[in-house]
Amino acid sequence: MDTLRKLLARLVSVVLVLGVVVGSAAAEPVPGSARNPVLVIGGFDANVGKLETLRAWLESRGYTAYAMVLPGTPAATAPLVESAAAVAAEVAEIRRETRSARVDLVGHSMGGLAQRHYVKFLDGRESVDTYVDFGTPENGVVLALLCSPFYPGCRDLSPGSPFLTALNTAPAIPPDLPAYHLFSEDAGEEREPLPGANNASVQSFCPGRRVSHADEPIDGAFQELIDSALRGGPLATGCP
């Protein structure tokens, strides 16, 4: 009888422990958002490996994530209107594949300009739930003048171009679209704000952090800021 009691006591202990473990696991929030798939869009001469790092990180947070580069060789050298049309086609394909009503956009550098043209001029607002651009020069880049004789995308990226003039005519972004513009204070023209968006530098959360334009997709703080934006904010990062 004593042996039986000891065995039952051990069984009860095991059940209680398992109950605590299972209960704790169930109480933990599920990472990511089940609302929408996410499309990551690269910029000029995008580093595919870095885009994939961001896409895979978002997958690890529970998102269904995709990545694309813009048309041209190197990437994003086609006219930005064509790039915006490519974004529209990719969003439509993702919606068909996932049966989702809307997609969230995360555009790096010129990718942000292409996705903004899409939501503003190509009826993209109806298919997009949250808009995030990071490292995007909303008013262009002076250095683009150097490659503008060779590539239409560079002409569109040049300050004062017809493309940017039209894109930045108020409202710069649909007023009912949740929008975020993230940037590094180390990286020049991307520091200029996007009217109507939540504008924030990574350094406002992580003082003294050094992040080059090229490394923004693989920077841990940028990744966490993007994640918090996709969740609807407030923006947050632990500065990993």
Domain ranges of the chain: 44-203+218-231
CATH number corresponding to 44-203+218-231: 3.40.50.1820
**pLDDT tens for each residue of the chain, 240 residues long:** 333 333 333 433 333 333 333 333 322 333 434 579 999 999 999 999 999 999 999 999 999 999 999 999 999 999 999 999 999 999 999 999 999 999 999 999 999 999 999 999 999 999 999 999 999 999 999 999 999 999 999 999 999 999 999 999 999 999 999 999 999 999 899 999 999 999 999 999 999 999 999 999 999 999 999 999 999 999 999 999
Q: Spell out the SS3 assignment of the chain.
A: CHHHHHHHHHHHHHHHHHHHHHHHHHHCCCCCCCCCCEEEECCCCCCHHHHHHHHHHHHHCCCCEEEECCCCCCCCCCCHHHHHHHHHHHHHHHHHHHCCCCEEEEEECHHHHHHHHHHHHCCHHHHEEEEEEECCCCCCCCCHHHHCCCCHHHHHHCCCCHHHHHHCCCCCCCCCCCEEEEECCCCHHHHCCCCCCEEEEHHHCCCCCCCCCCCHHHCHHHHHHHHHHHCCCCCCCCCC
